[in-house]
Structure 1
Amino acid sequence: MGGMIGHESDLSISENYRRFAHLETAGRSPAYQELAEFVAENMTILQFLGRLAPAKRQPNLLFAAARYILEEPADPDTLTKLIDERGDDLAAIMSERRTQTNEAARCAILLPALALIPGPLALIEVGAAAGLTLLVDFYNYDYRGHVLNGLDADAPVLTCQPMGAVPVPGHVPEIGWRAGLDLNPLDPSNPTDVEWLSCLIWPGEEGRAERLSAATATARRHPVEIYRGDLLDDLAELAAKVPTGLTLVIYHTAVLAYVDEAKRCAFAALTRSLGAIWIANEAPGVVGDAAPPSPSRGFMLVRDGTELLAQSDPHGNWIEWLA
C-alpha cells in the first residue's frame, strides 16, 4: 500500500482524532481516549488513514474494525502491529463496513418526543442499522424512578437520567407501522452482523454489551423490515408504503453528520414534502440554527428542523429538556 498524504491532510485527520479523544471518549472510555491521542501523533497510522476515502477515516470505524480482527479492543501496540502486518485486511473491513452504533438506549431520548405526537404513529428511521431503535414501544424505561413498561416484559430496561421538565409519558406511544432505511442493513439474527455491532461498543462503558445482547434478542422476537437504500433517493418510495390513518414520523440519530450540507438541506425539504414530522437527534450544528445552551453537552433533539426539544447524551444516558 504505497503513497503519502500531504501535511494538510495529516493535520485534518490528526485533529479529528484529537477531538474524538477530548470531546467524545473523555470520561467514557479511557482506553479509546489514549488510543485516539496516540493515533493523532502517529505518522504511520495517519498515512494509513490518509489512503482511505475521507468518509472511512473515522475513529469509531478504525477502532471497531481493529477489534473485529483482533477479537478484543486495540491498544497502541496492537493497532500499530495490525496496520504493519495486516493493513490491507483492516482497510478492506473499513471500506466494507460503516459506523452503525445501533444503541438501543437512544430510545429513551426519542420516547418523550414521540409521545407528544398524536398517534397512532408510522415510524421510518433512516440509518436504522439493525432496527434496534425502531422498537421504542417494546423496551422498558426507568427515568430516575419513573418506570414505564413497554410491550415486551423481557426487553431491556433503558435507564436515563432526566433533567428539566422531561415530558415522560404514562405509556408507550401506539405504533401502527414501522420500517427502517439503511445503505447497509444489519440483521439481528445474523451472528456476523451482531458481532460488528458489538465491536462498535467502547471499552469501559459498562452495560452496553449486555444491553446490546438483550436488544438484539428483542429484535429477533419482533422483526422489523429494514430496506436497503439512500435517505434521499429511496425515502419517498418507502413513505408511500405507510398505511392511511397513521401519523408519519421520520427520525434519525447520528446520521446527517455523515452527509454534506446540500444533502442535509435536500433531506429536510423531502421530509416536509412528505408531510412527515421530523425528529433529529444529532450533534450540535448538524440540524437547525438553534445554539445549544451548553455546546459540549452531547446531541441536540430537534423537531422539524427548527424546534430544539432537548440536549441528550449520545448513547442515551441522560436527557435535558429545553422545550
Structure 2
Amino acid sequence: MTIAAIYADFAAREAHGVSPTYERLAYAVTRDPELMALLAGLPPAKRQPNLLFGVVRLLGGPVEDPAAFHDYTVANWPVIEAETRTRTTQTNEAGRCAVLLPVLNALPQPLALLEVGASAGLCLYPDRYAYRYGDHPVGSGDPVLACTPTDLAPPTRLPQVVWRAGLDLNPLDVTDPADLAWLDALIWPEHTHRRARLRAAAAVVAADPPLLVRGDLVDDLPALAAQSPPDATLVVFHSSVLYHVPMPRRAAFAETVRGLPGHWIANEAPDVLPYDTLPAPPGEALHNVLALDGRPLAWTRSHGQAITWFT
C-alpha cells in the first residue's frame, strides 16, 4: 500500500466512529505532500499512523488541528524522526482481556500465561480485572472492561492464573514514568476512559509485577515457555502484534508455538495469519480474528470493545 492508502485505510477502518480527531488527521495527511515526503524517508514499518501520531503527542505536539499538526511536524521533524525510528507501537490495551476471557475460561485450569509482544504486561492479568458484557458483570474491582458480545453467552467466572510472563523486544515498566508516558501517548485523544483504564491496570501490574523478558518471539519463546509450571496449562497468546513481524518470521513463530505444550491464542487482523475460510466481518471497521490453536472463533474489535462469535 502507498503511504496515502495506509493513512486513508486507517481513517476509514480504524478511526472512523472511534476517534474523530485521528480520522480527520489521517485524511489530512493523505492530502499533504510535504508530510508524505517526510514519511517516505522512514522505513516502511515506521510510517504507520499510530506511531507518528503517538510520537507527536508524546513530544507535546498538537493533533486536534491538522494545520497545527502539519506546522509542528515539519518544524520538529528531526526530533520526531529520531523518536519514530527508535520506538514501536506498543499499545498495551487491557481491554483486550475481555475478548480473551471466554477462551481462557474454556481451557483446563489453572493457567500459565505467556504473552508474546507483551509491552508492559497489562494483558497478563485477566483474572484481576472486572468485566461488563452488555449488562452482565463478571468479577469486581477496577478497571472494569466493557465489551459488547454477539452470539456469545457472557462468561460467568474469572480464570485461575498461577504464572504469567511476557516476551518483548522492548519490555516496558509501568513504574517508569517515561514508559507510562509512552503508553499514554498511544491512547487516542478522545479516549479518556482508556486513559483512566491504563492507570488502573498499571496499578494492578505494579502491585504484582509479571516476569517480562527481553527477547525474540521465535528464538527466545521455547526457553521462556519451559519456565512455566508443569501442573498448569500453558497458554501462549498475542493481540495485534504479528503485523509488526515480517511474513517469514510469522511462519516460524507459528511453527514454534505449535510445537509447545498447551494452547495458542491469536488475536490478529485477518490478513496476518492464514485461515482457510472466514465469515464476513460484522461491518466495515477493522476487526481482528480470535483463534485458538489455529482455529478461528470470533471477530473482535481492536481495543476489546466487542466480540462477535462465529456461528
Q: What TM-score range do you get, normalising by the shorter chain? A: over 0.9
Task: Return the letter of the residue paired with 1:141.
Answer: Y
1:149–1:172 CA contact under 8 A, matched in 2: yes
1:292–1:311 CA contact under 8 A, matched in 2: no
1:288–1:302 CA contact under 8 A, matched in 2: no
Task: Return the letter of the residue paired with 2:148.
Answer: Q
Q: Which has the higher mean CA deviation after the structures are superposed, 25-34 or 255-264?
A: 255-264
Shift of the alpha carbon at 1:157? 0.9
Give the corresponding residue for 2:266.
280
* Structure-2-length-normalised TM-score: 0.95
Which structure 2 residues correspond to residues 137-216 of structure 1 after superposition, within 5 A? 137-149=127-139, 153=141, 155-166=142-153, 168-216=154-202
Q: Does 1:257 align with 2:243?
A: yes
**SS at 1:207 equivalent:** helix
Percent identity, aligned pairs only, is 44
Shift of the alpha carbon at 1:276? 3.1
* Structure-1-length-normalised TM-score: 0.91
Q: Does 1:300 align with 2:286?
A: no
The CA distance in 1 between the partners of 2:278 and 2:201, in whole Å, is: 33
Task: Return the letter of the residue paired with 2:143.
Answer: P
Shift of the alpha carbon at 1:73? 3.4
2:115–2:166 CA contact under 8 A, matched in 1: yes
Choose from 54, 69, 87 the match for 2:77: 87
**SS at 2:223 equivalent:** helix
Shift of the alpha carbon at 1:71? 5.5
The CA distance in 1 between the partners of 2:25 and 2:152, in whole Å, is: 38
Deviations 1:246-265 (A, max 9, x none): 11110000011121221111
Q: Does 1:321 align with 2:309?
A: yes
2:62–2:68 CA contact under 8 A, matched in 1: no
Give the corresponding residue for 1:18.
8
Task: Return the letter of the residue paired with 1:174.
Answer: Q
The CA distance in 1 between the partners of 2:130 and 2:148, in whole Å, is: 14
The CA distance in 2 between the partners of 1:190 and 1:32, in whole Å, is: 27
RMSD between superposed Cα atoms in Å: 1.5
Choose from 285, 302, 311 the match for 2:299: 311
**SS at 1:316 equivalent:** coil
The CA distance in 2 between the partners of 1:282 and 1:121, in whole Å, is: 22
The CA distance in 1 between the partners of 2:306 and 2:251, in whole Å, is: 29
The CA distance in 1 between the partners of 2:290 and 2:310, in whole Å, is: 9
Choose from 222, 245, 255 the match for 1:236: 222
Deviations 1:7-46 (A, max 9, x none): xxxx711110010011110111111111101111211111
The CA distance in 2 between the partners of 1:72 and 1:172, in whole Å, is: 41
The CA distance in 1 between the partners of 2:65 and 2:50, in whole Å, is: 14
**What are the ranges of 5 or more consecutive residues in structure 1 without an aligned counterpart?**
1-10
2:236–2:263 CA contact under 8 A, matched in 1: yes
